[in-house]
Amino acid sequence: MIKNKSSRRAKIKRRIRRKVLGTAEMPRLCVYRSNKAIYVQLIDDTKGVTLLSASSQGLKEGNKCEVAKIVGKAIAEKAAANGIENVKFDRNGYLYHGRVKNLAEGAREGGLKF
């Protein structure tokens, strides 16, 4: 039986990570959401390295959902500059709702496909 929110998220995260594996051609787009900021990384799991990253640190414009969309567009621009077009989305145990959904929509608007 799940005791609290963090153990529930950990269980979902393990289930997702069993299925989602990033490679150099199709890296994993991993999202981390804190109370103040949102972070996103493109990860190559075969080598165990982070290829690109973006965060909302230092962005002050708009509410959290609008900032998440800006971060999604930023990671898409960085990926396009490095020749990455397709990614696998790892929501990291968070519900696909709110900031996580806005980040994904921003990344799609920026040109990433997943």
Number of domains present in the structure of the chain: 1
Angle among Cα 85, 78, 54 to the nearest 5 degrees reads: 115
Express each pLDDT in 49-65 by its tens digit. 999 999 999 888 889 99
For residues 17-47, one letter each, b for 16 or more C-beta atoms within 10 angstroms of the residue's C-beta and e for the rest, the string is: eeebebeeebbbbbbebeeebbbbbbbbbee
Q: Residue 50 is part of a domain; what is its CATH number?
A: 3.30.420.100
CB-count burial class (<10 Å; 0-12, 13-18, 19+) for 106: buried
Supply the DSSP symbol for 113: B
Rg (CA), the chain: 14
Give CA separation, 24 vs 19, 57, 73, 78, 81, in Å. Answer: 17, 26, 20, 15, 15
Q: What is the reported pTM? A: 0.88
Residue numbers of the domain that contains 18? 5-110
For each of the chain's 114 residues, which pLDDT tens digit applies? 668 888 888 899 888 888 888 888 899 999 999 999 999 999 999 999 999 999 999 888 889 999 999 999 999 999 999 999 999 999 998 999 999 999 999 999 999 998
Q: Round to whole Å and give the CA distance between 72 and 56.
A: 10
